Amino acid sequence: MVDFQSRDTRRGRDDEDDEDDRDSPPSDSDDGGGHDDSTGHDGSDDHQHADHGHHAHDVDSLGAAVVTVSSSRSLSEDPAGDAIVAGLEDAGHKVVSRDLIDDSYDGVQGSIDALVGRGDVDVVVTTGGTGVTPDDVTIEAVEPLFDKELPGFGELFRLLSHDEIGTRVVGTRATAGVVDGVVVFCLPGSENAARLGVEQIIVEEAGHLAGLASREE
C-alpha cells in the first residue's frame, strides 16, 4: 500500500521629480497624446486592481473539519490528523470538527456528506485511504459527491512529494473538489504527507477556493 503509509466567509509625482523631468529627454509617453502615466507602462496598477477583485471573496478564517480514515488508529494516536489540525490553526483557521472513521465506503461518504451540510464548515480535510490497497476507498467514496473537481491539487501534491518519495508518488491518489459549496481535500495517511499538503497547499489556497465556491450567483 503506497498511500505514503506511511464559510465566516475571507499616485502622481512630487516637485523634485518634476525638476528632474525638465532636464530629461522626452520619452515616448510625452508626445501630448494624453497617455495616462498613472498606471505605469507595464499596466502594473491594472494588474493589481484585477488581482484585488479576484481575491475579493477570500475567506480569512475558515471553519474546518478534519477526518481521519483508518481502521487501525485512534484520535489519541493520529499524527497525520494532528499535523492537519496544527497547520490549519497556525494559519488562523478554526477546527470545528475532528473525526476518525473506518475504511468504509458508506462511512466515508456519509461522513463527508454530513459535514458539508453544516453551516460552520467551509473546508473538509481528510487523511488516509488514498492508496491502492482494497481497503483504500476514500477517493471512491468522495469523488461521486464532487460538484466540481480540482485536479490541480493532486497534481501539485504529487509534484511536491516527489522530492521525498520519488516515483512512489504514482501510488497516491490525493485529490480535491467542491461539494455543496464546501472545498474537500483528500490527503494520504502519513504524517509527512498530511503536513506537506496542509502547509504548502491547503492553507495557501483554501480561503480563496472557499470564498469562490460559496458565492451565490
- The domain limits of the chain are 63-213
61-100 pLDDT per residue, tens: 999 999 999 999 999 999 999 999 999 999 999 999 999 9
Question: What local confidence, expressed as pLDDT, does residue 56 receive?
Answer: 58
114, three cell numbers: 454530513
Strands (E), the chain: 63-69, 94-101, 123-127, 148-149, 175-179, 182-187
Q: Is 143 exposed, middle or buried (0-12, 13-18, 19+ CB in 10 A)?
A: middle
For residue 200, which amino acid is it? Answer: Q
Level-2 CATH architecture, domain 63-213 = 3-Layer(aba) Sandwich (3.40)
pLDDT band per the 50, 70, 90 thresholds, residue 139:
very high
139, three cell numbers: 477517493
- In contact, 123 and 62? CB cutoff 8 Å: yes
pLDDT band per the 50, 70, 90 thresholds, residue 214:
confident
- In contact, 59 and 91? CB cutoff 8 Å: no
Q: Which of 105-119, 149-163, 171-185, 202-216 has the lowest mean pLDDT?
A: 202-216
State what percent of residues in the chain have pLDDT above 70.
72
Helix residue ranges, H only, 62-190: 79-90, 105-116, 138-142, 151-165
For residue 80, which amino acid is it? Answer: A
| CB proximity list for 134: less than 8 A, separation 6 or greater | none
**Other beta carbons less than 10 A from residue 39's beta carbon:** 15
| Euclidean distance between CA atoms 122 and 58, whole angstroms | 12
Q: CA 160 from chain center: how many Å?
A: 14
